Structure formats: structure tokens, C-alpha cells
Structure 1
Amino acid sequence: MRRKEFEVPIEEDCEPFLRERHDGVLTFTGEDGWPKAVPLNYAYLDGSAYFHGSKHGEKMKGIAADPRAEFVVYESHAFIPSYFSDPYLACPATVFFRSVRMRGRIEQVEDPGEKAKALGALLRSMQPEGGHAPIDAEDPKYVASLKGVAVMRLDIEEMSGKFKFGQHLPDRRLKQVLDGLTERNLPGDPRTIEEMIARHPSSKRQEE
């Protein structure tokens, strides 16, 4: 990663972020040789990303021909207007965000137990209140559904995280942006302020 100040550790930041989110974009090479980008729901489980879908279609054909893929999970936290720190130039305008990129190979999951575990994790991330019978490979009412659905597992070979929250800003500009966010107070701004303060090098200097 070119901007090392935005790079974050896998266990401390990337994995909690992946467990928090439930959608991203899968990129792979299509059957026609062109790159494809497909938005998907996912579950991060036991160090792998799981997806589900139809057993047929462009995505399945492309992955069968070439299982190499990348998956990106991204969350935009706040747009930072240029005038927070510069009344004239547009250049300082930016977006603060969290993102994780994974690279690996996709395997079709055939084991009903693994399918049930992955689909259960996926549903819990989107429907945490429950309201359904547990997805169990031994439950006769789920057997046909588990057999008919495709479940894919991305075996991750590389992972990197980029969390941009103004770590590069000098103290004066940091204060200007913090003041601007405090005054604006849009949804997402309080969380952005917390991340900025916690991740800025000045906070680490104070701890020392």
C-alpha cells in the first residue's frame, strides 16, 4: 500500500470490520475474458468469506473457468468538504472511509453442514433478531434448499485494510476538520470524529 499511514492490522481492524459488514463487491474474470464486478452479501467465517447464489449464470461460469478473485468491503464514513481547512482551494476535499481487500481462490462448497453453517452466519448478519428455524443440514425441511443453492467460499491468500481518517493531517488541519465535523453533526460525523482522534499520530504521542 502506497500510503502506509492508512494501513491497518488484520486481526485488530480488518477482521472486526468484516464481521460488522455484510456486503461487498466480488471481482473475477468472466467467461468472455473481461473482468466482472458483482455486488454480493457475504459472511466472514473462520477466516474465509462465504457467498451464496444460483448454481447457474455468468458468475458461476466465470468462477468455474478461473477461481481467482478479489473481494472488497467498503464503508464511507464522512465527506470532508474542502472549506473545512481551505477557504479557496478545492484540493482538500476528500472522503474518510474503511475498506478491506481480499484476494484468493473460490471453492464451491458441497458439504451440507458447511453450507448450513455459512448460510446461518450470513442470515445472522442481516437478520440478527432471528424469527426462523435454525439452518440445520439435518432438518428435513432444509435439505432440498441446501442442495439447490450454491455456496462459495473465498479462501483468502492476501488481505489488506485501508482506514482513512486524517492520519496524514498536521495538527492544525486536524483541528479544523474536527471543528467542521462537530459543527456539521451529520449522521456518521460523531463516529468519524472518534476514529480521527483515536488514529491520529498526535494521540499516540500523548499516550507516550
Structure 2
Amino acid sequence: MLIHPWDAPQDDAHWQQWLAEHDFGQLAVNGLPGEGPCVQPLHFAYAPERGPRGEVVTHLARPNPLWPAVEADPRVVLSVVDDYVYVPGPWQAPDDTPPEHGVPTSFYAAVQLHCTARLVDDPQEKAELLNRQIGHFQPDGGSARAAVGEAPYGRMLAGIRGLRLEVTDVRAKFKYASHKPDDVKERTAAGLLARGGVRDLAAYAHHLRHRTTGGPQD
């Protein structure tokens, strides 16, 4: 992923705060010899305090075809992309340029966690892993805890395998035109608010943040 200086996060807290609210992504795994990469959509829980760069926990069904590839090569990438919008060309045209000459672009936020995967098959460790995920997604409770040999989840533990992903590197990008002239920024912000699509307000918030914090090229 290409990351220009003006698209880079301001610090680790920038991408960590965003990732705390975006816990569904795609796990990319190197395929077996002669095969292409494997990609698995999944929910996950990220704990930045565990290890130098944090740890991700998740689980998948035991019959998932991903397992042989992970066992062969534990180097994986967890990719999360959201807050993406299409920006029409006229919004990007400077004041001294005809609107129809503006260049359309994409805005998006993306975090890629490069990880070393460890498979979890021990029943007790799987139960602990599941409870961490439940605690993340349901912090107010409402679900029973997983425990080996106990209802309601104990008998289901044999049907899954857990994954602990040690984060070794992070690539983060917030592409919201922080390097553009002020007239373009203002027009783009107004366009996002006026269009009001599903992700336009989230993109507007990113765009505004880069404007008010003085992005690297501002």
C-alpha cells in the first residue's frame, strides 16, 4: 500500500483509535505452493496493550480451508478498510481550473496489520480467546461465558480453532486530501455534507480532522 507523507497517521493513537471502532476485516494468508492467496472475512478483537505492537484474537470453524495455508506460513496480513467515498472530479478542481477538468479520486481509511499467526487448539485457551472476543463485542454482558465442558458453549469448542495474531508491523493510511489547496478542501467538505451518503459524514470527519490539525502538507 502506497502511503504518501500527507496520508500517514499523525501517531499510533490515530490509527489505534480508528481501529477500535472497526473490528471487521479480511485476513490475507499466503497460499500453498501452486495456489493463490487465501482471504477470509472475519470479526476480530485487537488489544494494543498486548505485546510491542498489540495482538489480535479471532476464531474460525475447524473445516475452514485456510488452516493448511496458515500452518505452512504463519505470516499473515489483517486488512481493514472503511470510511471510503468516491470524490467527483469537479470537487477537486482548483478555482482557476474548469470544474470538468477536476480529477476524481477516492477517500478511504485503511489499516494493515502484519502479523505472525499462532493456532489455538487447547480447549481452555480457546475458551479464554472466545471470552476476550465476547467481552470486546458485548462489553455490557448479555451472553454466557465460554468454559470447557460447560453449557452453552463448551461442547462447541471442538468445532473451532482459535487464532492469536502477534502484530509485527502496521501500515496505516488516511487518504483525505490533506495536501490539497484550501479552496479544494472547502469545496470537497461542502460536497460531502451535501451528498450525505452512508459514509460521507465519516469521510467528512476525517477530512475536517486533517484540515484543523494541519496535515503534513498544510
**Cross-structure match for 2:37:** 35
User: Residue 167 of structure 1 is aligned with which of 154, 169, 178?
Assistant: 178
Rounded Cα–Cα distance in structure 2 between residues aligned with 1:122 and 1:9:
28
- TM-superposed CA distance for 1:14, in Å, is 2.0
Equivalent of 2:100 in 79, 88, 92: 88
What amino acid is aligned across from residue 7 of structure 1 in structure 2?
Answer: A
Q: Which amino acid in structure 2 is aligned with residue 180 of structure 1?
A: G
Q: Structure 2 vs 1, CA of residues 10 and 150 (structure 1 numbering), >3 Å: closer, same or farther?
A: farther
State the partner residue of 2:56: 49
Q: TM-score with structure 2 length normalisation?
A: 0.80
Q: Deviation string for 1:98-140 (max 9, x for gaps)?
A: 11111121101244444234323434555566432123x3561
Higher helix share: 1
Give the structure 1 partner of residue 214 of structure 2: 204
- Name the SS for the 2:101 alignment partner: coil
Equivalence for 2:116: 105
Over 6 Å off, 4+ runs: none
Deviation at 1:55, TM superposition (A): 2.3
Structure 1 gap ranges (5+): none
Question: Is the 2:127–2:148 contact (alpha carbons within 8 Å) kept by the matching residues of 1?
Answer: no
Displacement of 1:95: 2.0
Q: Deviations over 1:59-113 (max 9, x none)?
A: 001111111111111103322111223321362x122211111112110124444
Secondary structure of the residue that 1:204 maps to in structure 2? coil
Q: Deviations over 1:7-51 (max 9, x none)?
A: 115631222222212211111122244222222221213321122
Identity of aligned residues (%): 25
CA distance in 2, matches of 1:99, 1:125: 21
Alpha-carbon separation, structure 1, partners of 2:79 and 2:61: 21
- Structure 1 counterpart of 2:4: 3
CA shift in 2, pair 1:13/1:203, >3 Å: closer
Q: Is the 8 A contact 2:83 2:199 kept in 1?
A: no
Q: What is the TM-score when the length of structure 1 is the normalising length?
A: 0.83
Specify the code of the residue in structure 2 equivalent to 1:39.
P
